[in-house]
Amino acid sequence: MSTEQNAGSVHTSPRLSKSLDQNELLMRNVFTNCYDIVFRRIQVFGQIEVLLIYLDGLVDTKTLEHVLLKPWMLETPRPGLASLDAFDLMVEQQLVSIAKTKTTEAMEEVIESILSANVVILFDETNAAVIAELKGFEKRAIEEPTGETTIRGPREGFTENISVNTSMIRRKIQSPKLKMESMTVGSLSKSTIVIAYIDGIAKTSIIEEVRRRISRIQLDTVLGGNFIEEFIEDYPFTVFPQVQNTERPDIVASCLAERKVAIFIDGTPFVLIVPCSFWSTFQSADDYYERFIYATLIRWLRMLLIIISLFLPSIYVAITTFHPQLLPTNFLLSITSAREGVPFPAVIEAVLMELLFEGLREAGIRMPRPAGSAVSIVGALVIGQAAVQAGIVSAPMVIVVSLTGVASLISPRYSMGMAFRMLRFPMLIFSGMFGLYGVTMATVFLLIHLTNLESFGVPYLSPVAPLTRTELKDVLIRAPRWNLFTLPLSRSIRKKWRFPKGQKPGGNKGDGTQ
């Protein structure tokens, strides 16, 4: 906790006093001009005065009334309760039927508990307070993520409540080895961060590095996953994502089983997963719910379309501008006749059309859903056709940009798709200046950059570079599940097994077993 934060949270008396009136006055001074703070004074069993302090809208008031206040005001104390010397201990042990309660004398802990949606109970002639957890704010129901839909996978996604999110992982991994460490980040937001990993499977070096990077974060508010992601990534100035994010509990559970670490942030449905590799961003949840033959073919198609989205416009510009001899004569005559009358060079034409396409796509995303799709589709058709008829762009360029735009949507991860969309423009500039030699140079620079990247000590292109043959079963192909028996990230240590080998179906034919 920073010095500034301590200075703002320490008040006249760091500990509670025995006077209920003095404690109430102190708390009212702390929460001055806070319309949602509630102070309720009641008499327990008609003898002892009690003060309840909580924030309206964050506490389950129905449970508070039925479980706490109604028994106090209508019932008489049970035999044996009066034998306890401290009334706060009697309340904590006998009366407050809440899942989590504790007693404290620290004023700072009382204030933080109120802000964390708890009920604080103060007593007269007692310098201690009972903190009861009665959180009851509204939260979104569990729904299927709209950005990561599957055909055969589970129809559930994370919500903004961190307790709900961690419980969904607990349901999928029912093992005491699943560890969840809690941290608090944000001097104003006091956001809860949970680091999840499987003890004995996750790499110790990665766990310690995640702890170290999160513990050194000092900022005022944490409102989403990107607030943490930008502080823990290795290379902040690269366009490639180094931290994977997802809304699906099944993806988080599978990544935890693959020796990775998950980071939950309260208030966002997106969970961060580290380390992240280049190949994992092209893997979809459906790859593991469909048969491996289908998944492999779809993965090849996905890779091919990603390559097309990056290189198609630049190769078209390079060939039509510098290397027309590479095209068949009839094809070259067709392109030449289509480009007749176009006032711009091919590279300027391609850049203008790419900017137009990206603008239409962003407009479709930001506008309301019913109108967004109509604007993007109708806008592309009308503007493209009008531009061709006006002679501003050629028809082949419209076809190339359209194919590129469709191919760029195939990426399962939005962040990786955005990276390839940004890289198209440098590729176009290099191809417009140097032709195919420029495309080759840009590709070499890109491969050198990817080779130098790391995510939490793991090479970004692993297991391809450096090469690990046993881990290639889930990169360009998706091997059968009974063949994925080794854990990833095992290059530099003793190899670990996920399950026993020899479970190939049909291996027992002829021995009489089923």
Q: Which stretches does DSSP call E strand in 155-225?
A: 178-185, 191-198
My answer on whether omega of the bond before 463 falls inside 30° of 0, hence cis, is yes
Based on the domain organization, do 102 and 231 belong to the same domain? no
Query: 40 has which bridge partners?
Result: 52
pLDDT for 6: 41
Other beta carbons within 10 angstroms of residue 97's beta carbon come to 11
Residue 54 to residue 61: CA distance in whole angstroms:
10
Based on the domain organization, do 259 and 377 belong to the same domain? no
Total-model pTM: 0.84
Domain finish residue from 86, 113, 133: 133
Give the gyration radius of the chain's Cα atoms: 31
- Residue 119 belongs to some domain of the structure: yes
- Residue 71 belongs to some domain of the structure: yes
pLDDT for 377: 63
Based on the domain organization, do 297 and 441 belong to the same domain? yes
Domain finish residue from 253, 276, 299: 276
Q: Which amino acid is at 105?
A: E
- The first and second tokens of residue 328, run together, are 């068949």
pLDDT tens string, the chain, 514 residues long: the values are 343 344 334 344 478 888 888 888 888 888 888 888 999 888 776 667 888 999 888 888 888 887 777 766 665 555 555 444 556 566 665 555 666 788 888 888 899 889 888 899 888 777 888 888 888 777 788 888 888 888 888 999 999 989 899 999 999 999 999 999 999 999 888 899 999 999 989 989 999 999 999 999 999 999 888 999 999 999 999 999 999 999 999 999 999 999 999 999 998 999 999 999 999 988 988 889 999 999 999 999 999 999 999 999 999 999 999 999 998 999 889 888 888 888 889 999 999 888 888 888 887 777 776 655 666 666 666 777 788 888 888 889 988 988 898 898 888 888 898 999 999 999 999 999 999 999 999 999 999 999 999 999 899 998 898 888 878 888 888 989 888 888 887 654 455 777 788 788 875 554 444 4
- Residue 346 belongs to some domain of the structure: yes
Based on the domain organization, do 322 and 454 belong to the same domain? yes
For residue 135, give the 3-state DSSP assignment: strand
pLDDT for 146: 83
Based on the domain organization, do 22 and 87 belong to the same domain? yes
- Residue 307 belongs to some domain of the structure: yes
Alpha carbon distances (Å) from 414 to 15, 294, 409, 443: 50, 23, 8, 22
Phi-psi category of residue 322: left, alpha or beta, with phi > 0 → left and psi -120 to 50 → alpha: alpha
Q: Which amino acid is at 428?
A: L
Residue 430 to residue 438: CA distance in whole angstroms:
5
If residue 433 lies in a helix (H) or strand (E), which one and from where to where? helix 414-434
Based on the domain organization, do 190 and 114 belong to the same domain? no
- The first and second tokens of residue 173, run together, are 């991994």
Based on the domain organization, do 264 and 194 belong to the same domain? yes
Based on the domain organization, do 439 and 314 belong to the same domain? yes
Domain span including residue 31: 3-133
- Residue 150 belongs to some domain of the structure: no
Work out how many domains the chain is built from and give that number: 3
- The first and second tokens of residue 15, run together, are 């500990």
Based on the domain organization, do 126 and 171 belong to the same domain? no
Based on the domain organization, do 300 and 448 belong to the same domain? yes
- Residue 499 belongs to some domain of the structure: no
pLDDT for 339: 86
Nearest CA to 130 among 116, 138, 119?
119
Domain finish residue from 251, 276, 301: 276
Based on the domain organization, do 89 and 172 belong to the same domain? no
Based on the domain organization, do 70 and 13 belong to the same domain? yes
- Residue 435 belongs to some domain of the structure: yes
- Residue 465 belongs to some domain of the structure: no
Residue 475 to residue 325: CA distance in whole angstroms:
37
If residue 381 lies in a helix (H) or strand (E), which one and from where to where? helix 369-389
